[in-house]
Amino acid sequence: MTPENLLSRLQYPTGKVNAILDTDTYNEIDDQYALAYFLKSSEKINPLAVYAAPFSKPEFPTPALGMERSYEEILNIMNLCNRPDVTAYRGSINYLPDEKTPVDSPAARDLITRAMSSREPLYVLAIGAITNVASAILLEPEIINKIVVVWLGGHAHYWPPWGEYNMAQDVAAGRVIFGCGVPLVQLPCMGVVSHLSTTEPELKHHLKGTSPLGDYLYDITCREAIKDGGNLAWSRVIWDISVVAWLLGDMVLDTLTPAPIPSYDQGYIHHPDRHLMKVAYHVNRDRIFLDLYTKLK
C-alpha cells in the first residue's frame, strides 16, 4: 500500500461502513457491551459477522475452550439484541506458534472471503487476542489492501512494559499486525481507554429494567464486581466499547505515529522510519456512555 493510500484509509470514514467484530466475548463483561453497541449502531455500521477470538485463563485453560465459550456467548448476545441476521464464526483454537504460521479457522477464512470481495474498505474491530486477524493476513496477505484494523490492544506507548492482556495472549499476532503494513488504529488500554469507567448507580439508572439485554448486562457486571470485592463502592472500565466509538465519529481522538514493534517483554521498540498508524490518545467518556446507554435501551 502506498503511503498516500494508507493515510487515506486511516481517516474517519464518512457514511455507513461494513464491519466485523472479533471478540473474546466470555473473557470479561465488557465484550458483551461492545457486541451490543456494535449491533445497535446501525446509523453508521453494517455488521456483517462476529468472530470468536481465543482466550485462556484458569477457568478456561486452553484457548480452544475460551474461543468456544465466547462463540456461545456471541449467540446469546445476538439473541438478546434480536439480530439473527448477523453470522457468528468460530475462531482460532490456538495462538500463533510464530510470526509466520497462521492458525486456520472459519473466522479467518470468512474474513479473507469478505475482504477480497469487498469494493469498499472492510473495518475489522478487534477486542481480544488478535490471532484470527493475523492468521487471515498470513493466509492471504493481499487483504491488507482491503481492510482497516481497529484494535483494543497494548497499553499507551509511554506506559511501562508490563503485560496488557490482549497483546500478551498472542504477542506474535500483535507483531504481525503492527509489522505487516495494514491500516491500523490502536486503542491503548492503560493511559487512554482506562478512562471509560462506569459505576453501579449509573448502570442501574440506565440499564436495569429497560430490556432483557439491559438486565443481563447490569446483572453480569454487578456479579463480577462483587466477586472482585466491590461490595461497597466500585467502578468498572468497559474497555471494549472504544473500538465501536472510534468508528462512530469524533468521540475518540487519535494521532499519526510510526508503528512501533511490540516486544516479547511487553514493551515497544520505536523507530522513526516505520510505516504510519494511528493511536488514540483521548476518549470522550461522557459522550460515549451517553450514546451507549441510549442505544442499549
Secondary structure (DSSP) of 131-189: HHHHHHHHH-GGGGGTEEEEEE-S--TTS-S---HHHHHTHHHHHHHHHS---EEEE-T
- Between CA 218 and CA 206 the distance in angstroms is 9
The angle formed by the CA atoms of residues 233, 237 and 243, to the nearest 5 degrees, is 165
Q: Residue 148 in contact with residue 10, Cβ under 8 Å?
A: yes
Element of type H or E holding 200: helix 200-206
Indicate the burial class of 283 (C-beta count within 10 angstroms; 0-12, 13-18, 19 or more): buried
Compute the chain's Rg from CA coordinates: 18
Helix-then-strand count for the chain, H and E: 11, 12
For cell 490518545, name the residue.
Answer: 281
Starting at the edge strand found earlier in the chain, the sheet holding 17-23 runs: 87-89, 45-52, 17-23, 122-126, 147-152, 184-187, 276-283, 252-258
Q: Residue 246 in contact with residue 187, Cβ under 8 Å?
A: yes
pLDDT of residue 233: 76
pLDDT of residue 226: 81
pLDDT of residue 230: 64
Q: 231-248: per-residue pLDDT in tens?
A: 677 899 999 999 999 999
CA 13, 31, 168, 114 torsion: positive or negative? negative
DSSP 194: G
pLDDT of residue 252: 97
pLDDT of residue 225: 85
Q: Note down pLDDT in tens along the chain; length 297 residues.
A: 889 999 999 999 989 999 999 999 999 999 999 999 999 999 999 999 999 999 999 999 999 999 999 999 999 999 999 999 999 999 999 999 999 999 999 999 999 999 999 999 999 999 999 999 999 999 999 999 999 999 999 999 999 877 899 999 999 999 999 999 999 999 999 999 999 999 999 999 999 999 999 999 999 999 988 877 766 778 999 999 999 999 998 999 999 999 999 999 888 999 999 999 999 999 999 999 999 999 998
Instruction: Give the bridge partners for 19, in sequence order.
Output: 47, 123
- In this prediction the pTM is 0.96
Indicate the burial class of 168 (C-beta count within 10 angstroms; 0-12, 13-18, 19 or more): middle
- Between CA 105 and CA 89 the distance in angstroms is 9
Q: List the one residue out of 255, 269, 54, 241 whose CA is nearest residue 165.
A: 54
175 half-sphere exposure, CB direction, 13 A CA radius: 22
